[in-house]
Amino acid sequence: MTATSQSKQSSLVPMAIVAILFFILGFATWLNGSLMPYLKQILQLTPFQASLILFSFYIAVTFTALPSAWVIRKVGYKNGMALGMGVMMLAGLLFIPAAQTQTFALFLFAQLVMGTGQTLLQTAVNPYVVRIGPEESAAARVSVMGILNKGAGVIAPLVFSALILDSFRDRVGMTLTQEHITEMANSLILPYLGMSIFIGILAIAVKKSPLPELEQDEPQEQSSGQMKAALAHPSLALGVVALFVYVAVEVIAGDTIGTFALSLGVESYGVMTSYTMMFMVFGYTLGIICIPRFISQPKALMLSAILGIVLTLAIVMGDNESYQIANMLIVPFGGTQLPDTLILIAVLGLANAIVWPAVWPLALSGLGALTSTGSALLIMGIAGGAFGPLFWGMASHVPSLGMQGGYIVMLPCYMFILFYAIKGYKMTSWLQKT
């Protein structure tokens, strides 16, 4: 039975299932923000080595996006969802021998497999959001799923902290013995086993669920000629770069904040990603309310880039011994006292929230028959999530910079987004002079 023949029936149950899957995707993605500093602590990694934890996860998107589309064409969307979760379940199980042996390479392999499963699930579940209900309300559904995805980013670090980190708060900043390391590594086993079992059960439930199978579109070959024709549009080519640098700064802000907090001796480093995600959810909601009712997409993108530039400079030049922001805005309401620099990194979530939904329509505008090719190229921008933290880790090794100074790598990223918001999206030819 196809989605078309079910169009007159309620889409409540399918949308509820898809909503759960988007939450799972967000949960597994933003769990990296807690996992990265935790593994850095127990495996005694350098900032660069720790950044490989994120690199191995996000690089999977680059190499498995096209194969995932091929798999979906072969097995269908619903089976593709179940298969994607099956791969994620396998990745979760790989964390068990990685923890038992404390082997960094095995952790990286588990992350690569997790990223592969996520890519397959994303490829299968995203079309449902658009096509499972009325076309006129598709934008609203996309927005709701986006909030669910980022909302999971708020919850995931809190769960990680409650199940794992809270038992070892007193070990922040201390020299760990082998006994300490073994105990902390083994604490990962039960949570990841539980997560794997849950995802496995959910995969079976989706396989048996009443989700209608979507009609397959005729596969379109993304020929080199089409790619070349699409990239001849500066607004698209520059948009791909804009998304690459955007995902880079999004992952830096969301997933390195815990590692930086650990270096400052903050005991609650495992929940720091939640702060960034809360600001991102707020920015996402603000965008839904204000765009285009009160502000245009290009102007919102421009303001986001400017805010990112200001925050980056404030982070790099900030005082890690100052707690003024927390004392004014967090502590009076019962919150934790945190250095100003950490709070400024979290506020980057607000600067980043609008970028993805703003760049896409600007980059695809006027492509016509090349729209699908342009979309495929834009998806490749997600690879920025692999390289952003890597560059931050490399910069952190420079003695004059350190981890705090390493955030300077975000400055050219936000400057390019600003260029795109002011001029790049309006360019119709590479040869134009204005």
Reported as a pLDDT band with limits 50, 70 and 90, residue 229 is confident
Same structural domain for residues 277 and 407?
A: yes
State the residue range of the domain holding 334.
Answer: 225-426
DSSP output for 26-71: HHHHHTHHHHHHHHHHHHT--HHHHHHHHHHHHHHHHHHHHHHHHH
Residue 69 or residue 158, greater confidence: 158
Whether 432 is covered by a domain: the verdict is no
Most trustworthy range by pLDDT among 71-80, 197-206, 358-367? 197-206
Q: Please say which residue of 147, 181, 212 terminates a domain.
A: 212
Residue 307 or residue 269, greater confidence: 307
Does the pLDDT at position 179 exceed 50?
A: yes
Most trustworthy range by pLDDT among 13-27, 161-175, 249-263? 249-263
Comparing 109-118, 310-319, 375-384, the range with the smallest average pLDDT is 375-384
Q: Which whole number is the average pLDDT over 145-153?
A: 83
Q: Please say which residue of 186, 212, 238 terminates a domain.
A: 212
Residue 407 in contact with residue 345, Cβ under 8 Å? yes
Same structural domain for residues 121 and 239?
A: no
Phi, psi at 186, each rounded to 5°: -65, -20
Same structural domain for residues 187 and 298?
A: no
Whether 1 is covered by a domain: the verdict is no
Same structural domain for residues 278 and 189?
A: no
Q: Which residues contact 71 (CB under 8 A, 6 or more apart)?
A: 80, 83, 120, 123
Does the pLDDT at position 5 exceed 50?
A: no
Same structural domain for residues 273 and 197?
A: no
Phi, psi at 353, each rounded to 5°: -55, -40
Residue 428 or residue 113, greater confidence: 113
Q: Please say which residue of 182, 212, 242 terminates a domain.
A: 212
Characterise 339 by phi-psi region: left (phi > 0), alpha (psi -120 to 50), beta (else).
beta
Whether 312 is covered by a domain: the verdict is yes
In the chain, the percentage of residues whose pLDDT exceeds 70 is 90
Does the pLDDT at position 215 exceed 70?
A: no
DSSP 164: T
Same structural domain for residues 92 and 201?
A: yes
Same structural domain for residues 78 and 182?
A: yes
The per-residue pLDDT of the chain, averaged, comes to: 85
> Sign of torsion, CA 308 309 310 313?
positive
Same structural domain for residues 267 and 406?
A: yes
Whether 154 is covered by a domain: the verdict is yes
Whether 131 is covered by a domain: the verdict is yes
Same structural domain for residues 232 and 106?
A: no
Phi, psi at 213, each rounded to 5°: -80, 130
Whether 219 is covered by a domain: the verdict is no
Same structural domain for residues 138 and 245?
A: no
- Domain total in the chain: 2
Same structural domain for residues 234 and 205?
A: no
Verdict on whether the full-model pTM lies above 0.85: no
Same structural domain for residues 275 and 400?
A: yes
Q: Which whole number is the average pLDDT over 252-264?
A: 91
Residue 7 has a pLDDT of 47
User: Radius of gyration (Cα) for the chain, nearest Å?
Assistant: 22
Whether 64 is covered by a domain: the verdict is yes
Q: Which whole number is the average pLDDT over 192-219?
A: 81
Whether 185 is covered by a domain: the verdict is yes
Distances from the Cα of 79 to the Cα of 5, 29, 31, 164, 218, angstroms: 19, 22, 25, 33, 18
Reported as a pLDDT band with limits 50, 70 and 90, residue 434 is very low
Supply the CATH number for residue 370's domain: 1.20.1250.20
Three-state DSSP class for residue 213: strand
